[in-house]
Amino acid sequence: MNTRSQFAMFRWIVWRDMTLAWRRRTDALSTLFFFVIVVSLFPLSIGPETQLLRSIAPGVVWVAALLASMLSLGRLFANDYVDGTLEQMLLTPQPLYLIVLGKVLAQWLVSGIPLIVISPLLGVQLGLSQESLLMLAASLLLGIPVLSLIGSIGTALTLGLRGSGVLLSLLVLPLCIPTLIFGTGAVEATLISASPEANIYVLGAVFVLTVVFAPWATCAALRISLE
């Protein structure tokens, strides 16, 4: 199979999933609203002290983004599994790696990009400076795809199981801790006028490794779940 046909298939998978997500856009909006509500509750519960809010802002936004990403992961393969489309995809001669990567990319475009776009506005609410806001958006731009790719493995492993949401959280959340640490660390470095480069480089390396290896693990998990 030539490269052109593989690229056409990849583009079709992304377009198909985005079209289906648009028809069920309330799911994506619920993820975004959850993110906004969780971050907005902290100033109300802690108080208006600017220095305190600024110090906890990176962790609050990142944890909220992680939890919001978990909400959208359950829909990654579920609908295709129920109607039999996923099984048909596994039987096609198309590389399953590209199918998985296309579905994760579509999920990120629908659910991840809105979180990244709105995060600076929420950062302003928590008193972050302009430099910290830019670093927050940059760290989420690298980190949220990692969360989606790691989450795709857990989603594939728990496909069709009862209580899969709880099991998915138990499987995925511990694996996301390094991304959470370095993403938060990059923003915190700007708060103390330190260089965030080390955290960003590590986050970038984690992103590259996850893009290369996570889809293969997801493919194996899908085959196990559908046997």
Q: Report the alpha-carbon distance of residue 14 to residue 12 in Å, rounded.
A: 5
Domain ranges (residues) in the chain? 3-226
Residue 1 banded pLDDT, cuts 50, 70, 90: low
Q: Which residue has the higher pLDDT, 157 or 204?
A: 204
Q: Report the alpha-carbon distance of residue 148 to residue 150 in Å, rounded.
A: 6
Predicted structure pTM score: 0.88
* Diameter of the chain measured on Cα atoms: 60
Q: Report pLDDT for 48.
A: 74
> Which of 102, 86, 87 lies closest to 12, judged by CA?
102
Q: Report the alpha-carbon distance of residue 19 to residue 24 in Å, rounded.
A: 9
Q: Which residue has the higher pLDDT, 63 or 165?
A: 63
| CB neighbour class for 143 (10 Å; exposed up to 12, middle 13-18, buried from 19) | buried
Q: What is the pLDDT of residues 140-187, one digit of tens each?
A: 999 999 999 998 998 888 887 776 677 788 888 888 999 999 999 999
Q: Report the alpha-carbon distance of residue 161 to residue 91 in Å, rounded.
A: 22
Retrieve residue 205's tokens.
């390396």
| Gap between the terminal Cα atoms of the chain | 26
